[in-house]
C-alpha cells in the first residue's frame, strides 16, 4: 500500500541498517542485512506496482533466510560467516542445481547489493538533470543483468522507464532536500561497500560465487 507510512518513511533509516551489519570481528550480521533489504523493498513498492515483480522476488529471498533465522538452527544463521560454515560443513549447499540454501539465496541479494552500490553512487554523483532511468539501466547492465535471462532484463528495462528524474527521486527518498539526500548517500555508501566487499571475499574464498 503506497499511502501507508509514506510520511514517516525515510531512506535514511533503511541505509542505517547497513551500517549495523559489520561486527567487530568483521562478520556480516544477517538480521540488519535483511532489515536493510526489507526497507529497500518498502521503498521500491512506493515507486509503483510496475516494480512488483522485482520486490516479490526480493521478498521471497528475504523470507527464505528469515525462516532459517526462525528455525532451530537460528544461531547458525547469525552471520553470513557462520551460515557459510554451517551449510558447507553439513552438505546443505547444492553445487549442481538450484536449491533453497541460505548460501545461494543470499548470493542473489549479494549480487543485487552490487547493483545498489553502483546505482547509489551514480545517483550521488549524477548531474541535477540526469535521468534516474539511465543511471539505473547502466548500472543494472553492468552488474545484475549478467545473471538474468533475456525476459527479466527486458521487463526490468521497461520498469526503469517509470523512474522519475534524479531530483524527484532524491526527494522521494524523504531525507530532506536533494542536497541532503546526496550527502546522506555519501555517508551510507562506505558501509554498503564494506558489507559487499566482506561477503564477496568470503564467497570467493569458499568458491561459492557461481552457486546455481
Interaction site with ligand 1PX (CB under 6 A): 11, 40, 43-44, 53-54, 57-58, 108, 111-112, 115, 136, 140, 144, 148, 152, 156, 163, 173
Burial class (CB in 10 A: 0-12, 13-18, 19+), 128: exposed
Cβ proximity to ligand 1PX, 75 vs 168, nearer residue: 168
Cβ proximity to ligand 1PX, 89 vs 162, nearer residue: 162
CB of 75 to ligand 1PX, least distance (A): 26
Residue 124 CA to residue 173 CA, distance in Å, equals 13
Cβ proximity to ligand 1PX, 77 vs 122, nearer residue: 122
Mapping DSSP to helix (H, G, I), strand (E, B) and coil, where does residue 28 land?
strand
Q: 112 is written with which cell numbers?
A: 543485487
Residue 202 CA to residue 81 CA, distance in Å, equals 7
CB of 111 to ligand 1PX, least distance (A): 6
Residue written as grid cell 555508501? 189
Strand partners, 29: 79
Please compute Rg for the chain using Cα positions: 17
Cβ neighbours of 107 (radius 10 Å) = 20
Cβ proximity to ligand 1PX, 153 vs 206, nearer residue: 153
CB of 99 to ligand 1PX, least distance (A): 10
CB of 196 to ligand 1PX, least distance (A): 14
Cβ proximity to ligand 1PX, 80 vs 163, nearer residue: 163
CB of 113 to ligand 1PX, least distance (A): 9
Mapping DSSP to helix (H, G, I), strand (E, B) and coil, where does residue 7 land?
coil
Amino acid at each position: 500500500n503506497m499511502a501507508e507510512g509514506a510520511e514517516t518513511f525515510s531512506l535514511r533509516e533503511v541505509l542505517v541498517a547497513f551500517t549495523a551489519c559489520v561486527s567487530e570481528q568483521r562478520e556480516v550480521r544477517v538480521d540488519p542485512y535483511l532489515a536493510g533489504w526489507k526497507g529497500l523493498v518498502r521503498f521500491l513498492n512506493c515507486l509503483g506496482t510496475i516494480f512488483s515483480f522485482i520486490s516479490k522476488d526480493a521478498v521471497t529471498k528475504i523470507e527464505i533466510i528469515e525462516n532459517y533465522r526462525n528455525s532451530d538452527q537460528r544461531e547458525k544463521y547469525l552471520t553470513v560467516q557462520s551460515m557459510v560454515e554451517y551449510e558447507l560443513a553439513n552438505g546443505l549447499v547444492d553445487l549442481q542445481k538450484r536449491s533453497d540454501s541460505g548460501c545461494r539465496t543470499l548470493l542473489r541479494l549479494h549480487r543485487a547489493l552490487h547493483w545498489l552500490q553502483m546505482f547509489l553512487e551514480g545517483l550521488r554523483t549524477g548531474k541535477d538533470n540526469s535521468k534516474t532511468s539511465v543511471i539505473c539501466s547502466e548500472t543494472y547492465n553492468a552488474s545484475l543483468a549478467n545473471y538474468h535471462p533475456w525476459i527479466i532484463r527486458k521487463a526490468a528495462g521497461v520498469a526503469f522507464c517509470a523512474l522519475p528524474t534524479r531530483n524527484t527521486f532524491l526527494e522521494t527518498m524523504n531525507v530532506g532536500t536533494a542536497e541532503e539526500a546526496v550527502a546522506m548517500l555519501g555517508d551510507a555508501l562506505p558501509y554498503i561497500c564494506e558489507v559487499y566487499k566482506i561477503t564477496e571475499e568470503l564467497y570467493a574464498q569458499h568458491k561459492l560465487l557461481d552457486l546455481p
